[in-house]
Structure 1
């Protein structure tokens, strides 16, 4: 039976579910190759690709990374764990928890951003609604905008302001979106490497190589603290990874709150003037034209 992605389930959540199942199988004593086969028989698309890659003689970690998205982190964790000899089941379980926690944080941010973004999109239609409203009220706004020189100027200016408002709003919303990737993953991978018993320098070099990361200053600070205090670094790193995801969730909510205020700028500078140019000004011009004709 093929595993289908549930409605609303993200790629990271689906990956976390598959990795968690794999971890359970490995903890039960199933060999890694056989565990992937079980998942492939259950309809997991990535597991099917991994089984095909392994059958062709390719590396499992590379096959996972080739799946893209959150699977790149899973592939990096797999390569690090197998290279240093860290417990594979526990390593995958920690990665699955990180993926699910990170995705939950990203989802919360997107939900918080949805309301101000939807309000901005709704308000962007206000100038066009004004044109229709004038027509319903009996004003010949369409003719004024198409034939009257002042009306044509209002039309050009209003349309230009609408375009600027839409692009400005889209840029603000885009900058407020959460950063791609799972926060704290560098610390998680370093903890996996250290769990295999390698030295700190070897762990950092391995994570930088396998995960293609430039290293994290925060991870280096934690490792320095661990060395100076003489305490295990693994727990400190995993706590740091959790804190990074918590910070990402908090920062995202703050960006969403700030977005509500920033969206007032294109509304006041562009949308409302466009409303006046396309809605109010044509009605005034229509009244003036009617008055001139009566005289």
Structure 2
């Protein structure tokens, strides 16, 4: 069962539930993507920084070769890393990432962070990460503006390398500024979004501008525990939150389905939960078909 779709402001349809590739191990990534396609996933959310795009592409290629899907059945997302924000770097790195995936275009290509870092040659280190060199704490900025980067992103659409373009981790002020000069408006805004971090004002801004919101870490900040972040380590898991469990029991749904369903207006947003082994079941693709009663989610987090 495939996910329902949303129509972007670019005119393209985007599956409403996708499969996030962050922290998917290289050794298992090809099989993970292949099996996810067999399960019914059609949207795959990758990035240069995840370091597994070659393997993800192998999984896609296998599924296409075996006739499970055609390329046009899939919605493949990737992201521009901070080290490639200079206008003349955007096109070349996008072509490299497309080659890694083994495809001709991205359905959606996103500016990963509104942070421009000094260029690192992919032949020297790839993915480059946050640091310029191997020296601890050596973070060096580029002078590239968001406008310069966005104009280069727009050229990707002109050249057929990306069907839609978007942004990630942008707050309201940056989004408003971008919209002042954008020739091609961002189709999506990807942000951390779950009951502990709702960001209602930002959601309303995006909706008012016709920008679809993508939620990552839909099940809470536990994905960040291994990074040593206090807010992740000290936050009770949402799967065990009494309000979530109460709603799940009343609606006869799983906590995962409740969390996916609460993320907002089904015409406004998309979700791709951070996934680990084993492959998420079809239940995550079928969060639709039930509604919360009035006030059901008026909980304070």
- Fold shared per TM-score above 0.5: no
Q: Which has the higher helix share?
A: 1
TM-score (norm 1): 0.24
Q: Which has the higher strand share?
A: 2
TM-score (norm 2): 0.24
